[in-house]
Amino acid sequence: MDLLLQRKMADGDALPGDFSINGKQFSFALERASKAIPAGRYRVLFTVSDRASIGQLWSPDPEHRLPLVDGVPGRSGIRIHAANEYDELEGCVALGRRRAGPMLVNSRAAVTPFVDLVRETIDTEEIWLTVLDAPKGPQPLNT
């Protein structure tokens, strides 16, 4: 499965993006610009999140698993999870159904089907995330 995070231009420390699965738009994304992972291609694993296990992160998975972005240079524990504001993120990627300025709306509604899809797919095929920086020039925030 191929995931794509296409970043938009940052709005302060909020870094919005579009998130697609196998070439089809799935949701909006949000990162913290000052802690965002470098653009590149990363393997995605599905592992138990210690932070979800103790209630610091929400996971729809009964075993507290969340997608883990693996192989980020100099970083570990980078997850794809629910969050509405960039300051809730420490380098992770949040998904949401809508964007409202620099925020996401209905994040859990986007993360739940994504986690379900990862759970169904992870044992039969590799999952890869490609992160692309924003194209140069002005970019509308709510597209």
Q: What is the pLDDT of residues 79-131, one digit of tens each?
A: 999 999 999 999 999 999 999 989 999 999 999 999 999 999 999 999 999 99
Residue type for position 37: I
Stretch 52-59: mean pLDDT, rounded?
94
Q: What is the pTM of this model?
A: 0.91
Average pLDDT, the chain: 94
- 41-74 core/surface letters (b: 16 or more CB in 10 A; e: else): ebebbbeebebbeeeebbbbbeebbbbbbebbee
Stretch 30-54: mean pLDDT, rounded?
97
The radius of gyration computed from the CA coordinates of the chain, to the nearest angstrom, equals 14
Strand partners, 14: 11, 32
